[in-house]
Amino acid sequence: MNKQKNLNPELKLAETLAAERQAAMARRPSRDEAEQAIRTLIRWAGDDPDREGLTGTPERVVRAYGEYFAGYHDDPVEILQRTFEEVEGYDEMVLLRDIRFESHCEHHMAPIIGKAHIAYLPNHRVVGISKLARLVEVYAKRLQIQEKMTAQIANTIQEVLQPLGVAVVIEASHQCMTTRGVHKPGAALATSRMLGAFRKSAATRREFLAMIRGGGND
Protein backbone atom coordinates (compact mmCIF):
# COMPACT_ATOMS: atom_id res chain seq x y z
CA MET A 1 0.00 0.00 0.00
CA ASN A 2 2.83 2.41 0.83
CA LYS A 3 4.44 1.67 -2.51
CA GLN A 4 1.23 2.64 -4.29
CA LYS A 5 1.05 5.93 -2.40
CA ASN A 6 4.61 6.80 -3.42
CA LEU A 7 4.03 6.39 -7.15
CA ASN A 8 4.89 9.55 -9.07
CA PRO A 9 2.17 11.16 -11.21
CA GLU A 10 3.82 9.98 -14.44
CA LEU A 11 3.74 6.33 -13.34
CA LYS A 12 0.17 6.60 -12.03
CA LEU A 13 -1.00 8.02 -15.36
CA ALA A 14 0.87 5.35 -17.34
CA GLU A 15 -0.69 2.55 -15.27
CA THR A 16 -4.19 4.00 -15.60
CA LEU A 17 -3.92 4.36 -19.37
CA ALA A 18 -2.44 0.86 -19.74
CA ALA A 19 -5.34 -0.63 -17.77
CA GLU A 20 -7.86 1.23 -19.95
CA ARG A 21 -6.21 -0.06 -23.14
CA GLN A 22 -6.19 -3.65 -21.88
CA ALA A 23 -9.87 -3.47 -20.93
CA ALA A 24 -10.79 -2.03 -24.33
CA MET A 25 -8.83 -4.69 -26.21
CA ALA A 26 -10.53 -7.45 -24.22
CA ARG A 27 -13.92 -6.17 -25.43
CA ARG A 28 -12.83 -5.67 -29.03
CA PRO A 29 -14.83 -7.66 -31.63
CA SER A 30 -13.18 -9.57 -34.45
CA ARG A 31 -12.53 -8.08 -37.90
CA ASP A 32 -15.26 -10.31 -39.34
CA GLU A 33 -17.76 -9.01 -36.78
CA ALA A 34 -16.78 -5.43 -37.66
CA GLU A 35 -17.28 -6.09 -41.38
CA GLN A 36 -20.68 -7.65 -40.72
CA ALA A 37 -21.65 -4.52 -38.79
CA ILE A 38 -20.78 -2.37 -41.82
CA ARG A 39 -22.91 -4.63 -44.03
CA THR A 40 -25.79 -4.08 -41.63
CA LEU A 41 -25.38 -0.31 -41.84
CA ILE A 42 -25.36 -0.46 -45.64
CA ARG A 43 -28.63 -2.38 -45.59
CA TRP A 44 -30.07 0.08 -43.05
CA ALA A 45 -29.14 2.97 -45.36
CA GLY A 46 -31.21 1.30 -48.06
CA ASP A 47 -28.61 -0.34 -50.29
CA ASP A 48 -27.44 -3.87 -51.04
CA PRO A 49 -24.00 -4.76 -49.60
CA ASP A 50 -23.73 -7.54 -52.19
CA ARG A 51 -23.99 -5.33 -55.25
CA GLU A 52 -20.77 -4.92 -57.22
CA GLY A 53 -19.84 -1.43 -56.05
CA LEU A 54 -20.24 -2.29 -52.36
CA THR A 55 -18.82 -5.81 -52.05
CA GLY A 56 -15.42 -4.55 -50.88
CA THR A 57 -16.77 -1.64 -48.83
CA PRO A 58 -17.00 -3.38 -45.43
CA GLU A 59 -13.36 -4.45 -45.63
CA ARG A 60 -12.25 -0.97 -46.73
CA VAL A 61 -14.25 0.75 -44.00
CA VAL A 62 -12.80 -1.49 -41.29
CA ARG A 63 -9.31 -0.84 -42.64
CA ALA A 64 -10.01 2.90 -42.61
CA TYR A 65 -11.27 2.68 -39.03
CA GLY A 66 -7.93 1.15 -38.11
CA GLU A 67 -6.30 4.41 -39.27
CA TYR A 68 -8.96 6.76 -37.88
CA PHE A 69 -8.75 5.27 -34.40
CA ALA A 70 -5.12 4.19 -34.16
CA GLY A 71 -4.71 6.35 -31.05
CA TYR A 72 -6.29 3.68 -28.88
CA HIS A 73 -3.21 1.52 -29.38
CA ASP A 74 -0.61 4.19 -28.51
CA ASP A 75 0.66 5.24 -25.08
CA PRO A 76 0.68 9.04 -24.67
CA VAL A 77 2.91 8.86 -21.59
CA GLU A 78 5.54 6.83 -23.41
CA ILE A 79 5.66 9.41 -26.19
CA LEU A 80 6.74 12.14 -23.76
CA GLN A 81 9.10 10.10 -21.60
CA ARG A 82 12.29 10.85 -23.54
CA THR A 83 13.32 14.35 -22.51
CA PHE A 84 16.45 16.51 -22.70
CA GLU A 85 17.97 18.24 -19.69
CA GLU A 86 20.94 19.97 -21.39
CA VAL A 87 19.07 23.18 -22.17
CA GLU A 88 21.63 25.75 -20.90
CA GLY A 89 19.15 27.04 -18.37
CA TYR A 90 16.46 27.82 -20.95
CA ASP A 91 13.26 28.60 -19.07
CA GLU A 92 11.19 30.62 -21.56
CA MET A 93 8.06 29.47 -23.34
CA VAL A 94 8.22 26.55 -25.78
CA LEU A 95 5.41 26.81 -28.34
CA LEU A 96 4.36 24.54 -31.18
CA ARG A 97 1.47 26.03 -33.10
CA ASP A 98 -0.79 25.06 -36.00
CA ILE A 99 -0.63 21.29 -35.40
CA ARG A 100 -3.23 20.01 -37.86
CA PHE A 101 -5.30 17.03 -36.76
CA GLU A 102 -8.24 14.92 -37.87
CA SER A 103 -10.52 13.33 -35.32
CA HIS A 104 -14.10 12.01 -35.06
CA CYS A 105 -16.80 13.14 -32.67
CA GLU A 106 -18.07 10.53 -30.26
CA HIS A 107 -21.70 11.58 -30.72
CA HIS A 108 -22.10 11.18 -34.50
CA MET A 109 -18.70 9.72 -35.54
CA ALA A 110 -18.41 12.64 -37.95
CA PRO A 111 -15.00 14.20 -38.73
CA ILE A 112 -13.48 16.96 -36.61
CA ILE A 113 -10.74 18.82 -38.50
CA GLY A 114 -8.66 21.52 -36.90
CA LYS A 115 -5.39 22.63 -35.41
CA ALA A 116 -3.86 22.64 -31.96
CA HIS A 117 -1.44 25.07 -30.33
CA ILE A 118 0.65 23.81 -27.41
CA ALA A 119 2.99 25.72 -25.10
CA TYR A 120 4.79 24.90 -21.89
CA LEU A 121 7.31 26.55 -19.56
CA PRO A 122 10.20 24.09 -19.01
CA ASN A 123 11.29 23.09 -15.55
CA HIS A 124 14.85 21.88 -16.25
CA ARG A 125 13.88 19.60 -19.15
CA VAL A 126 12.30 19.77 -22.59
CA VAL A 127 10.83 17.24 -25.00
CA GLY A 128 11.39 16.90 -28.74
CA ILE A 129 8.86 19.02 -30.63
CA SER A 130 7.75 16.09 -32.80
CA LYS A 131 6.57 14.38 -29.60
CA LEU A 132 4.08 17.19 -29.00
CA ALA A 133 2.64 16.66 -32.48
CA ARG A 134 2.48 12.91 -31.86
CA LEU A 135 0.67 13.49 -28.57
CA VAL A 136 -2.01 15.44 -30.43
CA GLU A 137 -2.32 12.56 -32.92
CA VAL A 138 -2.73 9.96 -30.18
CA TYR A 139 -5.69 11.74 -28.64
CA ALA A 140 -7.14 12.88 -31.98
CA LYS A 141 -7.19 9.32 -33.35
CA ARG A 142 -9.96 8.38 -30.94
CA LEU A 143 -13.65 9.10 -30.61
CA GLN A 144 -13.60 12.53 -29.04
CA ILE A 145 -15.24 15.69 -27.93
CA GLN A 146 -12.99 18.70 -28.37
CA GLU A 147 -13.23 19.83 -24.76
CA LYS A 148 -12.00 16.46 -23.48
CA MET A 149 -9.20 16.26 -26.04
CA THR A 150 -7.95 19.71 -25.01
CA ALA A 151 -7.83 18.68 -21.36
CA GLN A 152 -6.20 15.31 -22.10
CA ILE A 153 -3.32 16.91 -24.01
CA ALA A 154 -2.67 19.55 -21.36
CA ASN A 155 -3.00 17.17 -18.41
CA THR A 156 -0.64 14.59 -19.94
CA ILE A 157 2.07 17.19 -20.59
CA GLN A 158 1.68 18.55 -17.06
CA GLU A 159 1.86 15.13 -15.40
CA VAL A 160 4.73 13.73 -17.47
CA LEU A 161 7.01 16.75 -17.98
CA GLN A 162 6.13 18.52 -14.72
CA PRO A 163 6.69 21.97 -16.30
CA LEU A 164 5.96 25.32 -14.68
CA GLY A 165 2.87 25.66 -16.84
CA VAL A 166 1.01 24.29 -19.86
CA ALA A 167 -1.31 25.97 -22.35
CA VAL A 168 -3.35 24.25 -25.04
CA VAL A 169 -5.73 25.88 -27.52
CA ILE A 170 -7.65 23.89 -30.13
CA GLU A 171 -9.66 25.35 -33.01
CA ALA A 172 -11.70 22.95 -35.12
CA SER A 173 -14.61 22.51 -37.49
CA HIS A 174 -17.12 19.79 -36.62
CA GLN A 175 -18.87 18.12 -39.51
CA CYS A 176 -21.61 16.92 -37.18
CA MET A 177 -22.87 20.52 -37.35
CA THR A 178 -21.55 21.67 -40.74
CA THR A 179 -22.86 18.80 -42.90
CA ARG A 180 -25.88 17.72 -40.79
CA GLY A 181 -28.12 19.07 -38.05
CA VAL A 182 -28.00 22.88 -38.06
CA HIS A 183 -25.86 22.96 -41.25
CA LYS A 184 -23.57 25.86 -40.34
CA PRO A 185 -20.51 25.61 -42.62
CA GLY A 186 -17.61 27.82 -41.59
CA ALA A 187 -18.40 27.61 -37.86
CA ALA A 188 -15.41 26.68 -35.69
CA LEU A 189 -15.12 25.76 -32.02
CA ALA A 190 -12.25 27.05 -29.90
CA THR A 191 -11.29 25.45 -26.58
CA SER A 192 -8.42 26.09 -24.18
CA ARG A 193 -6.83 24.71 -21.05
CA MET A 194 -4.33 26.70 -18.99
CA LEU A 195 -2.34 25.14 -16.18
CA GLY A 196 0.29 26.45 -13.78
CA ALA A 197 1.86 29.76 -14.79
CA PHE A 198 -0.49 30.16 -17.75
CA ARG A 199 -3.49 30.10 -15.42
CA LYS A 200 -1.92 32.21 -12.66
CA SER A 201 -0.21 34.88 -14.77
CA ALA A 202 -2.27 37.05 -17.11
CA ALA A 203 0.95 38.32 -18.75
CA THR A 204 2.13 34.79 -19.57
CA ARG A 205 -1.29 33.92 -20.93
CA ARG A 206 -1.35 37.06 -23.09
CA GLU A 207 2.12 36.25 -24.46
CA PHE A 208 0.97 32.78 -25.48
CA LEU A 209 -2.21 34.04 -27.14
CA ALA A 210 -0.32 36.78 -28.97
CA MET A 211 2.17 34.22 -30.32
CA ILE A 212 -0.47 31.88 -31.69
CA ARG A 213 -2.46 34.73 -33.20
CA GLY A 214 0.66 35.96 -34.95
CA GLY A 215 1.10 32.58 -36.65
CA GLY A 216 -0.87 33.62 -39.69
CA ASN A 217 1.36 36.59 -40.40
CA ASP A 218 4.55 34.64 -41.14
Q: For residues 118-145, give the mean pLDDT.
A: 96
pLDDT band at 159 (very low <50, low <70, confident <90, very high): very high
Tell whether 77 is covered by a domain: no
Q: Say if residue 54's pLDDT is above 80.
A: yes
Which of the residue ranges 51-65, 92-106, 175-189, 197-211 would you say has the lowest mean pLDDT?
Answer: 175-189
Tens digit of each residue's pLDDT (9 = 90 or more) over 3-33: 444 556 666 666 776 666 666 666 789 999 9
Tens digit of each residue's pLDDT (9 = 90 or more) over 176-197: 998 988 888 889 999 999 999 9
Q: Which residues carry out catalysis?
A: 105-108, 146, 174, 176
Tell whether 1 is covered by a domain: no
Instruction: Indicate which CATH number applies to the domain containing 49.
Output: 1.10.286
pLDDT, position 136: 98
> Half-sphere exposure of 37 toward its Cβ, with a 13 Å CA cutoff?
9
Number of separate domains in the chain:
2
Say yes or no: 104 and 203 in one domain.
yes
Q: What is the pTM of this model?
A: 0.85
Say yes or no: 88 and 62 in one domain.
no
Say yes or no: 94 and 34 in one domain.
no
Say yes or no: 139 and 180 in one domain.
yes
Of 104, 103, 119, nearest in space to 207 by CA: 119
Say yes or no: 88 and 43 in one domain.
no
**Residue 111 in contact with residue 163, Cβ under 8 Å?**
no
Structural domain for 98, as ranges:
84-213
Beta strands in 106-211 (DSSP E): 111-121, 126-127, 143-144, 165-174, 189-196
Instruction: Indicate which CATH number applies to the domain containing 149.
Output: 3.30.1130.10
Q: For residues 37-51, give the mean pLDDT.
A: 97
Say yes or no: 124 and 204 in one domain.
yes
Tell whether 3 is covered by a domain: no
